[in-house]
Structure 1
C-alpha cells in the first residue's frame, strides 16, 4: 500500500485486478467527490482512462480502477528502455489523453501523473491514466509542475542520449512548455528525422501507432528528399540511372517482358449458372411451403454450392507460382552491369608457369610434403602400444590415506548472500540460487538462472525478490501464469513479505525461501 495525493493506493483481486483508492481505513464522503465527474467516469468508457467503479457502503464511497492486463510505466521503463521514437509517441499519446479528457468535461489538475500509476497496454503500448474526481486534488501541486516531473522521469529511461527528438524534448523541458507545445514540437522533430509519413502528420491516435521506418516511393514528399549539388532531388526517378546511362523511368516506355500475371479467381458464366440455379430453387420452395425440412435442404444445397465454387476457383490457380523477380527492369540492369564488369575484368594467364620477372614465389603444394617423418611416427606408435600393454597391471592411487577429511564444505555460491532459494528439482538434489542484496528478478530473460531457458511457462520477467527495510518481499511482475506463496496466488505488482521456509510456486517450478 502506498500513499499518493493524500490517499491510500492498494491492489486487490475481485474477479479481476483493481487499484483501490481510499482515505485510510475508511472511504470518501459524498461531498468529497465531484458528482458530475463521477457520473461521467462511471457511465462512459473514456479512451485513455482506467475504468472507474464506485462502491457505496455506510454512506462512504470507495473508488476502484480496473487494471487487468496492464503494466505500470515504471516497470516498463525498468526492463525495456524506450527508443527515441517510442518516447515521442508516448508523450504525444499522453497529450491526446489530456485532450480527450477536456472533451469529456474533465480537468487537467485531477489527472494522476505518476510513473507507478500510469499504465501501458501489453498489445498497443498506449498509456492509460487514472483520474481522481476528488475535490482535494484542487489543493495539490500545480499540474504544470507534475507534468514536467513525469516527462523528466520518462526522459531518464531513454536508451539513446542524442537525437533530434531528444534535443527538442530537452528544450521543451527547460522552458517548461505547455503539453500542447510538446505535441507540436515532437511531431515536427519526427517529421524532420523522416520518422513520420505524410499520412501521420496529424494527431497520433493510440490505435494508429505504427510509424514507418522506411519510405516507399508513394509516400515520398519534397520535404523528405535531399538535394544534390545540381539542385536535383536524390530520391527522384531521374537519379536512378542504369549502367547504360538511361533512367529506369525512360526504360519503362520501351517494350519489356512483363511479369506473369496471377490467374483470376472468377468462375465462368456457365459454372455460375449451374451453382446458382439449385440454390435459388431450394430457397424458393422453402419460401412457398415454409417446411422445416426444406430449410435444412436449402442450407445444405447452399453450403455445397459455395464449397464447389471455392474448389473450382482454387483449381484454376493450381500450379501457378509468383515470379521471383518483382522488377524485371532492375534485374536487367543488374545483369547488364555484371556483363560490363566481366568484360572489363582482365583475364588471368592461361599458363600455370610463373613469370620469371615477377616477385611472387611459385605455389607449393604442402599436401605432397610429409609433415612428420615416418621414423617419428613409428617410434610414437611403439610407445603407445607399450603403454596400453602395461596399463592393466598398474595401480592407481585414488586418495591419500594420511589426508584429513573435511566434514562439510561450504557452498561457494551462497557465500556472502543473506538469502537464497532452494529449487526442488524432481528426481534430483535441490539447487541453491543465491539472492544478492539488490534483489533477484526471476524470468526467462535472467540468463544466469539454471532453468530460465528451459521453462516456456515462465514469463520474461515473472517475479522479483527485494530486501527493503530489513524485510524480504516478493512481487509478481504481471506474469501470465502467476506466482503463488504457500498456495496463495499473488496480485500483480503488490508486495508481499517473505518468511523463513515459505514455499514459492512459479509456472510449475517449486522453491523454498531460506534466510
Structure 2
C-alpha cells in the first residue's frame, strides 16, 4: 500500500478499479490492460490450474493473459492490441434487435463452453467496459480473472440482467415479447447457461426472420441494404433451431409469457389473395361490358371497378392496423441509453425564464455550426464554449480548457464527469471538428478533487505536455497542463 501511495504522490497516473483490483493500461510492443492489487497480488491468490489452462490453451473469445511477477507480486497482462472497448462503441451506435440477442448469445455460449477448458464462468467480467471487440460485433472478447476471491462480484444472472437492461436502450426497433421473456428467465431460480443459449438462439431466429423480410435493415442508426451477410446469419440460426421446434419450455410456475405464434408471411399472403380476387372480379365486370357495350354499361363497370379498388384498399389498411395493435400490445418501450434528447425550443424557453437564455443571434450561430465542418469561432474574447454552444461572458467557475483560434481566446468549460471530446455530436459532450479527430477522442474524468484525462483509443492519439498518452490509461491533470489534439493546444486551468 505504501508503494501505491508513493506512486500517487509522484504524480504517476492512477488506475481505474475492478472489484478489489486496480486497472491500468500500458503500451510496450503491443497494447495491454494490466490488473494488479494495491496491496500486492500474491501467487496463492491465483488459481494455478486456471492460469496453466489460460497460458497453454488459447480459449476462444477470451483476451490472452500473461502473468508477470515483480518482487513477489503478480500482475495480469491482457493483450488488447487492435481491439476497442465495447462501451465506447455503444455510446455512438445503435443496435438491431438481432445484434442485441447475438451479443448476449456470444456471452452465454462463451460462458457455457468455458467448462471445456476447466474454467469457471463466475470468473468472467461481464461489464461492457471490460468487453472488447475486433472487426465487428461478431468478434467479441472477454476478460477472465483467475483470482480465487473477487470482492463484490455479482452472480452471472445479475451481471447479464445489468448488461441486457443497458443494451436494450440502444435497440432501434423492438417487436415481440422476447425481452420480457429473457429478463424473466434471468431472474428465475432454475437459471442455467444451456437453456439461456437456447432461448437466445430462438430470439435470434425470430429477429432474423423479421430482418430477412425487410428490404432494408436498421443498423448503426442508418438504413442499409440487406446483403448476403443477413442471409448467412439467418442460415446460421436455422442450423441450430428448426422453425417448429419447442426450444424453451417455461416452468409451470409461470416465469414468463410464451411468445405468440409467429406467422411472418401471413399478412403478405392475405394481401396477395385479396388483390387476386379483386383482379378476377374486375375481369368479370369488364367481360360484361365487352358482351353488351354501351355508354350506360361503361359507367356502371367503371363505378363497380372503383368500388372494388376502394374495398380492397380499406380491407388491407384495416388488417395492417390490426397487426400493428397486436404487436404494440406486447412491445417494450425503451428509455434513452445515456444521452436524452430534449426539445430545444422548450429548453431555451426555460433558460430564458431563469435568466440564462440565449439571444436569437447566438441561437442562429449555434444552428449554423451544426451544418459547418468547422467549429464556429466565438464573438467575444472572453466567451466560453459549453457543449458546443456560446455561453455568456465571464470567468468560469468550473475547470476549463483555454485555447486560441484565429487569434481569439476561447474556453471550454468542463461542467460534468465524464466529459467526452470528439468529432461527432452523438455521444460526446463537446464537439471538436478538426480533421483527424476521432468520433470519440478523449475523456475528462473527475473523482473527488482530482481531474484526469484518458485517450479513448483515438486514431491519431492525444498528447499531454508533449507525451503521447497510452489509450484508456488515466492521467491526472494539474494547472497549466497542455493537451494537444491534432494541431491545437488546450491549456488546462482550474479557475
Q: TM-score, normalised by structure 1?
A: 0.55
1:419 aligns with 2:422: no
Counterpart position of 2:194: 180
Does 2:421 align with 1:442?
yes
Q: 42, 49, 67: which is aligned to 1:28?
A: 42
Q: Look up the match of 1:322.
A: none
1:185-244 deviation line (CA, Å, top 9, x unaligned): 23323433424769xxxxxxxxxx95459999xx9x99765336xxx94599x8996998
> Within 1, Cα distance between the matches of 2:265 and 2:187?
31
- Give the match for residue 84 of structure 1: 97
What is the distance in 1 between the residues matched to 2:276 and 2:139? Answer: 44
What whole-Å deviation, never above 9, does each CA across 1:342-400 have from its counterpart, x for those lacking one?
Answer: xx99xxxxxxxxxxxxxxxxxxxxxxxxxxxxxxxxxxxxxxxxxxxxxxxxxxxxxxx
Contact between 1:54 and 1:62, CA under 8 Å: does it hold in 2? yes
1:226 matched to 2:283? The reply is no
- Tell me, what secondary structure is at the counterpart of 2:453? strand
In structure 1, the partner of 2:412 is: 433
- In structure 2, the partner of 1:37 is 50
- Offset at residue 121 of structure 1 (A): 2.6
Shift of 1:502: 1.1
Query: 2:114: which partner in 1?
Result: 101
> 1:61 offset after TM fit, Å?
3.3
Deviation of the 1:478 alpha carbon: 1.4
Where does residue 488 of structure 1 map in the other structure?
Answer: 467
Partner of 1:67: 80
The offset of 1:88, in angstroms, is 0.8
Distance 1:3 1:451 in 2: 28
State how far apart, in whole Å, the 1-side matches of 2:401 and 2:467 are: 18
SS of 2:424's equivalent?
A: coil
CA 195–121 in structure 1, closer or farther in 2 if over 3 Å, else same: farther
Alignment partner of 1:430: what SS?
strand
Equivalent in the alignment of 2:27: 13
Q: 1:432: Cα distance to partner?
A: 2.6
Give distance in 2, aligned partners of 1:112 and 1:149: 12
Local SS of the residue matching 1:38: helix
C-alpha distance in structure 2 between counterparts of 1:47 and 1:131, whole Å: 12
Count of residue correspondences: 339
Q: 1:239 to 1:168 in 2, by over 3 A?
A: same
Residues 77 and 501 (structure 1), Cα distance of their counterparts in 2 relative to 1, 3 Å cut: same
Deviations 1:70-96 (A, max 9, x none): 333333333335443321111011112
Task: Work out whether 1:132 is the aligned partner of 2:132.
Answer: no
Moved more, 179-188 or 83-92: 179-188
Partner Cα distance (2:60, 2:394) in 1: 49
Gaps of 5+ in 2: 1-14, 214-227, 245-261, 282-301, 307-379, 384-391
Name 2:436's counterpart in structure 1: 457
Question: What is the CA distance between 1:161 and its match in structure 2?
Answer: 6.7
Name 1:112's counterpart in structure 2: 125
CA distance in 2: counterparts of 1:58 and 1:36, whole angstroms: 22
- Offset of residue 156 of structure 1: 5.4
1:510 corresponds in structure 2 to 489
Segment of structure 1 superposing worse, 129-138 or 151-160: 151-160
The unaligned stretches of length 5 or more in structure 1 are 199-208, 247-340, 346-407
Deviations 1:280-321 (A, max 9, x none): xxxxxxxxxxxxxxxxxxxxxxxxxxxxxxxxxxxxxxxxxx
CA contact (8 A) 2:451 2:476 kept: yes
State the 1:21 CA deviation: 1.7
Q: Secondary structure at the match of 2:136?
A: coil
- Aligned-partner SS, 1:45: coil
Structure 1 residue 451: deviation in Å? 7.3
Q: CA deviation at 1:490?
A: 1.5
Q: 1:67 to 1:110 in 2, by over 3 A?
A: same
Residues 122 and 245 of structure 1, relative CA distance in 2, 3 Å threshold: same
Distance 1:469 1:138 in 2: 23
Cα distance in 2, alignment partners of residues 185 and 145 from structure 1 = 17
CA contact (8 A) 2:108 2:193 kept: yes
Assess if the C-alpha contact under 8 Å between 2:403 and 2:410 holds in 1: yes
1:25 CA displacement: 5.2
1:409/1:179 CA distance change after superposition, 3 Å = same
Equivalent position SS for 1:116: coil
Asked whether the 8 Å contact 1:474–1:497 carries over to 2, the reply is yes
1:125–1:476 distance in 2 versus 1, CA, 3 Å:
farther
CA distance in 2, matches of 1:10, 1:83: 33
